[in-house]
Amino acid sequence: MRIEHVIQGEFKASDDPEVTLTTILGSCVSTCLFDAIAGVGGMNHFLLPKGDSGASVQNRYGLLAMELLINELLKMGASKSRLQAKLFGGAMMDSRLGRIGDENGRFALAFLENENIPCISSSLGGTAARRVRFTPSSGAAQQMLIADHVEKVPEPVVEVGRAVDSDITLF
């Protein structure tokens, strides 16, 4: 089996049964599309739903990511009428980032609906990152949730009025 990583702004497609596509998602969304009859599929990984038409990082936006993946699958023999989708990601990783994950998920669902591509399964939202593995030739997908918390190093307890020996100078 050959593992191929799909990073932000990328998409990959394959008809090789030995290929597994993988990615790690936080607020980003990954769309896994496949045509079971043609035995072809692919994955994208987008950062934001849509952007300014003059933006230099267009490949990080959902609209272009979806179009590029669909076009690649059609070149490889897929039929748009047989495409099926699985969606992953869209978590709220940091409240300071707003609802980016939610917006990404809503965009992907709306895009698929507008293109008449059924979404047969999804795992969107929440607060946990995800590792996704997708076999494009069969459409099989696996997901592993990554802990939604970070272990904090306990701070030393200092009694008030007591000197602390330390190499650290506080200012």
What SS3 class is residue 27? coil
Q: pTM of this prediction? A: 0.81
Domains, the chain, ordered by start: 2-146 (3.30.1330.200)
Per-residue pLDDT of the chain (171 residues; tens, 9 = 90+): 899 999 999 999 999 999 999 999 999 999 999 999 999 999 999 988 776 555 555 567 888 899 999 999 999 999 999 999 999 999 988 777 678 899 999 999 999 999 999 999 999 999 899 999 999 999 999 999 987 544 444 444 444 444 444 444 443
Choice among 19, 25, 28, 87 that is catalytic: 28
How does pLDDT run across 27-75, given as a tens digit for each residue? Answer: 999 999 999 999 999 999 998 877 655 555 556 788 889 999 999 999 9
**Annotation marks residue 119 as catalytic:** no
- 30 CB contacts (<8 Å, ≥6 apart)? 6, 23, 43, 44, 45, 46, 87, 88, 89, 132
Phi, psi at residue 96, to the nearest 5°? -70, -15
